Amino acid sequence: MSIASQIQRIQSEIPPHVKLVAVTKTHPANIVQEAYDAGLRAFGENRVQEMIAKQPLLPADSEWHLIGHLQTNKVKYIAPFVSMIQSVDSLKLLQEINKNALKHNRMIHCLLQVFIASEETKFGLSFKELDELLNSKEFSVLKNVKAVGLMGMASLTDDLSQVRKEFSSLRNKFDQLKGQLPEFSVLSMGMSSDYKIAIEEGSTLVRIGSSIFGHRT
Ligand SMILES: *Cc1c(COP(=O)(O)O)cnc(C)c1O
């Protein structure tokens, strides 16, 4: 099936309030352009170098989402144009994003990445660290970043009840925080293998790569 028909299929399966971000990592700009031509505007990359290489080659109304671990010394390369940094996992990183956003006179939207999987390999804050960050004085003074929600990745497992449990725990946290933070509106969870479960558990943004573009080499 073509990229356009895969996008059409997925769009028809997800409700209108759920945003589709096409994960374009490892795929060249001409392939990203195919997704653009099929109507998608939001693209997710997990590496800064790859994002800054492709961004100038796509139309200016493309939205770029960083979804992979971000080192503080690389924030400056994406600060001029990035739409959303979904993988914020420390106050220090948030402060660095704020500094660079200020330089460019921008407000950068961020998601806080929360560790919900049972594996030890994934990045992210614990619920306790998340609360500490959001309640800190240092966070409250940041004027050029807006924390608009949470991102999480479930365990890579065939045990779908485990995956559902992990998404559900993040959704509960999200609902709780929405009560205190009016700007919270985005819950990013779900990839090719688990987006249907994620949406059932309250996701508002899915990050999908291989179901659109095929397997990465
Ligand atoms: C690669 C990646 C995805 C997309 O994974 P697929 O299985 O190809 O859909 C989603 N989120 C993050 C954080 C990723 O790194």
Q: pLDDT tens per residue, the chain (217 residues)?
A: 899 999 999 999 999 999 999 999 999 999 999 999 999 999 999 999 999 999 999 999 999 999 999 999 999 999 999 999 999 999 999 999 999 999 999 999 999 999 999 887 668 999 999 999 999 999 999 999 999 999 999 999 999 999 999 999 999 999 999 999 999 999 999 999 999 999 999 999 999 999 999 988 7
Report residues whose beta carbon is within 6 angstroms of any ligand 1 atom.
Answer: 23, 25, 46, 67-68, 153, 191-193, 207-211
Compute the distance between CA of residue 199 and CA of residue 193 in angstroms, rounded to an integer. 12
Burial class (CB in 10 A: 0-12, 13-18, 19+), 20: buried
Residue nearest to atom 11 of ligand 1 (CA): 207
CA of 23 to the centre of ligand 1 (A): 6
**159 contact partners, CB below 8 Å, separation of at least 6:** none
pLDDT at 121 (0 to 100): 66
Using left for φ > 0, alpha for ψ between -120 and 50, and beta otherwise, residue 3 falls in alpha
Ligand 1 atom 6: the closest Cα is on which residue?
209
Q: For residue 123, what pLDDT is reported? A: 83
Give, in degrees to the nearest 5, the angle at Cα 185 between 32 and 193: 50
* 172 CA to centre of ligand 1 in angstroms: 23
- Predicted confidence at residue 216, as pLDDT, reads 84
| pTM more than 0.95 | yes
Rounding to the nearest 10 degrees, give the CA dihedral for residues 56, 58, 60, 61.
-150
Among 187, 191, 206, 215, say which to mutate for ligand 1: greatest number of ligand atoms within 8 Å of CB. 191
Ligand 1 centroid, distance to 54 Cα (angstroms): 18
